[in-house]
Chain A
C-alpha cells in the first residue's frame, strides 16, 4: 500500500517570506497523481496544487509551486510571499492510477504558522 510522509509536524514563516513544506511517498506504481491540500481553522479541505507523475515540469499556481522529484519520491510545496491567510494545516496526498484510480491517501500534515 502507498504511504505518504510529512516529516515536519510544524513550520513557521515570516510574512512575505518563502517556506518549503516537505513530502515523501512510497509506491511501486509508475503512474500516479500528487496533491497538496490546505485545511484552515474552518476545517474545510481546499486543493492548493496538483501534479501528474508523468509530467516532468513542476506545477505552479500563483504563489504556490512544487518541486517534484520522481526518482526520489519527493513532492515539496513552496509558498512564496507568505500571507497571514496561508496559516493552516497542509496535507500532501497521493492518488494511484490503478484499475479504479480511487486510492486517495493523505500524509499526517504540517501545521504552518505565518508570523506578522
Chain B
C-alpha cells in the first residue's frame, strides 16, 4: 500500500480564498483523523471519522473549517474563507480498528495564506 496520501503537498493562497485539502487513507482503515501543526500550538486534532461518520469535530477552530468523508477512500478539509492565521501544516492520518493500533500519517500539506 502507498500509505496515506495527501494533496497538495504545498498550497499558497490569498486571504479570502477557498482552500481544499485532500486525503486518501490506507485501504481497509476505518478511522481517519485531521490534524493541524503549528509552532505555537503543536499538533492539534481537528476532527476524526469512524466508518466515514464524523465522531468529534470539537477541535475544528471555527465555522470557516469543514470536513467531509463521502466514502471510505477519500476525505476533504475545506477552509472558506482562508485567513493568514490558518497557515500551518495539515496532516491526515488513518488507523485500522481501535486501541493499540497506531495512526499512519500522510506527508502533510503545508498551507500558506498571504
In the assembled complex, the CB of B22 is this many whole angstroms from the nearest CB of chain A, namely 17
Q: Which residues of A contact B42 (CB under 8 A)?
A: 106-109
Q: Which residues of A contact B82 (CB under 8 A)?
A: none
Tally chain B residues at the interface, Cβ within 8 Å.
Answer: 23
Interface-lining segment among A42-50, A62-70, A75-83? A42-50
In the assembled complex, the CB of B111 is this many whole angstroms from the nearest CB of chain A, namely 13
Tell whether, in the assembled complex, residue B98 and residue A43 are in contact, meaning their CB atoms are under 8 Å apart.
no
Q: Is B93 an interface residue (CB 8 A)?
A: yes
Tell whether, in the assembled complex, residue B107 and residue A43 are in contact, meaning their CB atoms are under 8 Å apart.
yes
Tell whether, in the assembled complex, residue A97 and residue B99 are in contact, meaning their CB atoms are under 8 Å apart.
yes
Chain B at the A interface: SS class: strand
Interface residues of A in 65-116 (CB under 8 A from B): 91, 93, 95, 97, 100-109
Q: Is B55 an interface residue (CB 8 A)?
A: yes
Q: Which residues of B contact A93 (CB under 8 A)?
A: 103
Contact of A45 among B56, B91, B99 (CB under 8 A): B91
| Closest residue on chain B to residue A46 by CB atoms | B105
In the assembled complex, the CB of B46 is this many whole angstroms from the nearest CB of chain A, namely 12
Which chain A residues have a beta carbon within 8 Å of chain B's beta carbons?
33, 35, 43-45, 47, 50, 52, 91, 93, 95, 97, 100-109
